[in-house]
Structures are given as C-alpha cells and as structure tokens.
Amino acid sequence: MRILVVNCGSATLKYKFFATEDGAMELLAGGVEEVSGGYRAAVTAVLDGLPQAPDAIAHRVVHGGDRFPDVSKLDVRMLNQLRELSSLAPLHNGPAVEGIEATLGLGVPLIAAFDTAFHRSLPERAWRYALPELPGVRRYGFHGWSHRSVMERYAELSGNPRPTIITLHLGGGCSATAIQQGQSIDTSMGYTPLEGLVMGTRPGDLDPGILAHLMYKGMSLEEIRRLLHYDSGLQGLAGSQDMRELLRREDHAACMAVEIFCYRIVKYVGAYLSALGGAEATVFTGGIGENSAEVRRRVCLGLSWAGLRLDESRNQRGEECISAPESTLAAYAIRTDEERVIAREAGYLLAGAVPEPSPRHR
C-alpha cells in the first residue's frame, strides 16, 4: 500500500510518501513546500509530483476537540465538524481543512490523524481546568505525533520500551510533555495551542485577566485573536519569530526574548520532573530543538540542579545523545518523524489491524 502523509503547518506543507508492506515502510518521496498560493494549490502540486498515485492519504489535523481523539477515516460529516473547530487552532486547522479539500475527489481513503490522540492518557487532574463544567472545555494537548515519534526513537536508543522522559517540541509552536512509562500524563498546551511555552507568534501562559482588561479598554475580539495567534511570543517581544536571527542580535529585546523562551522551558521541565518523581531524559525536537545548539545549551545549563551535564562537543555536533556520561538526567536531540508514525498508524487502520477508533468520553 502507498500512503501519502500531508502535514499542513502554519506556513509550510510537509509531506512524505511511503510504501508499506508486512510492517516494513519505504520512503518513496518527501519534502517541504512553501505555501504562497494557498494550501489547496500546494497539495495539488505535491500530488502532481509524486512518482506514483497514492492508495490512501493521511492528513495531520491539530485540533479534533472531544469528537475525534485518534486516527479516523474522513467523511463529509467529519470534515464539516473540522471546519467548525478551525477557530480553536486557526494557524493549523484551517490549512488542514484546505489540504483535505484538495484530495476529496481522488477516490482513495482519506485519514485524519489528530495531534490530540497521544494525550488521551492525561489523568483528570491534568486535563481539567478549575472551572464549572463547560461542554468540551478541557485541556487536550497538541504536537502529539511529534512527542510520540521522539519517544519511540528514544525507546530504541535506550532499550526501554516504556520510558519516563520529558519531551520538548520547540519550533514555531512549542510544547513540553511529561511521559511516564510511555504515556503522556501532562502537557503544556491546553484547550488550544496557545497555552504553555513561549512560541514564535503565540504567548504561551497568560493571565486571563489581561484579555478581560483589553476588552474593557475597547479591543475587539478579532483584534485579541490576532494578538494571541500572530503578534505575540518572540514576535511580540523582539519583532521576529526567527530564533536564528534573535541569537545573532545583541540588542536588549532580542536577548530578553531568548532568555524568556529558555526560562519558560526550564520552568516546565522542573515542574514535570517533580510530577514524574524524576525522569531518565529530556528530549529536544522540532526546528529549534533539533537545530539550535545554543538553545539546548541554555536549557541544559538551567537544569544542572537536576543532574544534567551537557557534553558541549556532542551538542555542537548535533548528536542524538548530547549529555555527558556522568549526567544523571540525560539529554537527547532527536529529529521528529511525525509522518512515518502517522503512515504506520493509518496503515494499521486501513488493514483492520486496530479497531475503528471512537471518541473517549470522560
């Protein structure tokens, strides 16, 4: 079976095309497309450039609410519900819906792979907000395929199939996840992908009273939405969301933006170490986590109290294990491969190797 995985991000489209047979997977094609003419056009261009026609297409979808917690076959009803949820993750769900629409007429099975799936194991103390019961309002967590991908790779490297680790997806969007014996038990993103760590254009944790104050002062709902999704985070602090640029600059705004970014990560890792009662490793991934030795260095130095000792040479070379042998808390930098995990799970679903998923109600 040939499975195309389409991963529509906030500014780019990533794709990988796999041939799967008897559990083995071969990468036939893949790449990253800049999106200038819209996601439908970008997906169409990808389809036109494939060496063969796909037998199935799997789309990564960020937010499924409490309706679609796992890998699911797409139909018109589901697509309409995804359109309704786009306001909760406008940087991602909108592009995903456009990508899905570009593949509707191909006559092959379409699969939705939800980022929230990995975090279905969150206990109530982690997913519940201190609010009266409001339908659908709870912490879902995101970047699930990335956290799962690097957890599985760490398990291979360590020989422990059910590791207890903290994973850090650091890119345009950023999230931390506490994984206990192979299951997510807490994660920094919540009801939407706005909560938690400082991100490229999103603020992360924020006192909700600020939003009430802004509305009281006359800011419209649309202006607040734009502020939170497009004009905050590194962009709001220093005028750029490009970590490489900020690390090159020497002005106060850039230096403080990087310091706040790293401080928030250290704070979350410290909290998760306490919640887990200790961990084997901290694992960096995502565009910044995989490629910025300086960000990894700063975070690791901030965790020296937890027994993390960075090997500067390994870190600069970008090896997978970047901690020193004497480190009691290991550190790894592992490249995420969301698309491979999605293709594998989509293949299982289509082959009937796993039951058709159904929403998990809590």
pTM: 0.92
Catalytic residues: 115
**Which pLDDT value is given to residue 62?**
79
Confidence of residue 356 (pLDDT cuts 50, 70, 90): very low
Other C-beta atoms lying within 10 Å of the C-beta of residue 278: 11
Collapsing DSSP states into helix, strand and coil, what is residue 321?
A: strand
Domains and CATH numbers, the chain: 2-121 (3.30.420.40), 144-333 (3.30.420.40)
Average pLDDT, the chain: 91
**Which pLDDT value is given to residue 85?**
65
Residue with tokens 């909700």: 208
E-strand spans in the chain?
2-8, 12-21, 24-34, 56-61, 71-73, 110-114, 165-170, 174-180, 183-187, 281-285, 330-333
For 239-285, what is each residue's pLDDT tens digit?
A: 999 999 999 999 999 999 999 999 999 999 999 999 999 999 999 99
Q: Is the per-residue pLDDT at 196 higher than 60? A: yes
Rounded CA-CA distance 83/62 in Å is: 12
